[in-house]
Chains A and B, each alone.
Chain A
Amino acid sequence: MAEDLHEIVARALMLDREAITDDLKYNSIPEWDSVAHMALIAELEASYDVMLDTDDIVAMSSVGTIREILKKYDVEA
């Protein structure tokens, strides 16, 4: 079982796990700006052992879409 996505997002954005939902959107909170997005991408790649396409990194606009996009990489987050 892969590590929980909310856990990873919380760690990368330095937020409490309770603050993370699938509806949370990129750039909707100060903690998830473009710099934090890069930290999140690095965390996702390391945790799930994948190498994301640039287009997918740009498309990861919410926790929910991240979960969807990861399926393309055979990751059930």
Chain B
Amino acid sequence: MLKPDLLAGRVALVTGASRGIGAAIAKGLVAAGATVWLSARTLGSLDAAVESLNGLGAGEARALYFDVADPAAIKQAFGTIQKADRRLDVLVNNAGILKAAMIEMASVEMMDETYGVNLRSVLVASQYAGRLMARNGGGSIINLTSIMGAQGFAGQAVYAASKAGVIGATKSLAKEFAGRQIRVNAIAPGAIDTALIEGLSDEKRQETVSSIGMGRLGTPEDVAGLSVFLASDYARYITGQVIGVDGGMVV
């Protein structure tokens, strides 16, 4: 499906890459020839993925452990990339947490944690990415939002608010960075079969599937395909867009 040299010579960072959508995106970028820094919080959690990606015979994978909720750690991570590669072409802000709670039961701590991981990290990482990308004539920032960010969902006000914030950040940064040839887009996955929705009961799962036009849950690979496209020159004139990957849930 992909040309192995589509992203050859490009350097990318994918946050939250130890599993699910982030892992699939990292794989897609490596398969297209990029050098990809995978990031995660838990030391060792990327080792298996990095080893298997380096066996693809395409691009290169490297592990970078840091917590996106910690702005100082984000800065340090970009410093590492700058020293090693002296460039960054693609940033995928994927790391996120989802804690369901009816609004009356959502703690202030949970709100701050969700905001810190899902939204502030996008803004802070973009500060450094923008400067690093501008040096080499541009780049592509890809933010993971959610169908919930634009549509809302009962029991998900906090998560949805953080993801709606990502949409606002995406559109603003697209405008701010356009002159520097840095494109900023967002991907809005629908119901994707990952650990985040594993907790659903069979009944709820069935109900979810029946609301999807294409009759199945999405896969992380369904999302990865769009990420590779947005990272590539095929998308060179596309910026400020929020693109759904939801099998027809929202049309």
A38 near B134 with CB under 8 A, answer yes
The residues in A between 31 and 77 inclusive whose CB is less than 8 angstroms from any CB of B are: 35, 38-39, 41-42, 45-46, 51, 53-54
B75, B135, B179: the one within 8 Å of A45 (CB): B135
Across the A-B interface, how many residue pairs have beta carbons closer than 8 Å? 23
Q: How far does the alpha carbon of A41 sit from the alpha carbon of B130 in the complex, in Å?
A: 11
Residues of chain B within 8 A (CB-CB) of A38 are 130-131, 134, 180
B78 near A54 with CB under 8 A, answer no
> Which of A38, A41, A53 has the most chain B CB within a 10 Å cutoff?
A38
Residues of chain B within 8 A (CB-CB) of A41 are 131
A42 and B134 in contact (CB under 8 A), knowing A35-B179, A51-B128, A54-B127?
yes
A42 and B127 in contact (CB under 8 A), knowing A51-B75, A51-B78, A51-B79?
no
Residues of chain A within 8 A (CB-CB) of B180 are 38-39, 42
B78 near A42 with CB under 8 A, answer no
Q: Does B82 contact A (CB under 8 A)?
A: yes
Dominant secondary structure of chain B at its interface with chain A = helix
Residues of chain B within 8 A (CB-CB) of A51 are 75, 78-79, 82, 128, 131
The residues in B between 98 and 139 inclusive whose CB is less than 8 angstroms from any CB of A are: 127-128, 130-131, 134-135
Residues of chain B within 8 A (CB-CB) of A45 are 131, 135
Q: How far does the alpha carbon of A39 sit from the alpha carbon of B79 in the complex, in Å?
A: 19
Residues of chain A within 8 A (CB-CB) of B127 are 54
Residues of chain A within 8 A (CB-CB) of B128 are 51
Of all chain B residues, which has the CB nearest A35? B179
Question: What would 23 A/B residue contacts be, using CB atoms closer than 8 Å?
Answer: A35-B179, A38-B130, A38-B131, A38-B134, A38-B180, A39-B134, A39-B180, A41-B131, A42-B131, A42-B134, A42-B135, A42-B180, A45-B131, A45-B135, A46-B135, A51-B75, A51-B78, A51-B79, A51-B82, A51-B128, A51-B131, A53-B75, A54-B127
Listed in ascending order, the chain B residues whose CB lies under 8 Å from chain A are 75, 78-79, 82, 127-128, 130-131, 134-135, 179-180
Query: Closest 7 A-B residue pairs measured CB to CB?
Result: A42-B134, A46-B135, A51-B79, A42-B131, A42-B135, A45-B131, A51-B82
A38-B131, A51-B131 provided; 16 other pairs, C-beta below 8 A? A35-B179, A38-B130, A38-B134, A38-B180, A39-B134, A39-B180, A42-B134, A42-B135, A42-B180, A45-B131, A45-B135, A46-B135, A51-B75, A51-B79, A51-B128, A54-B127
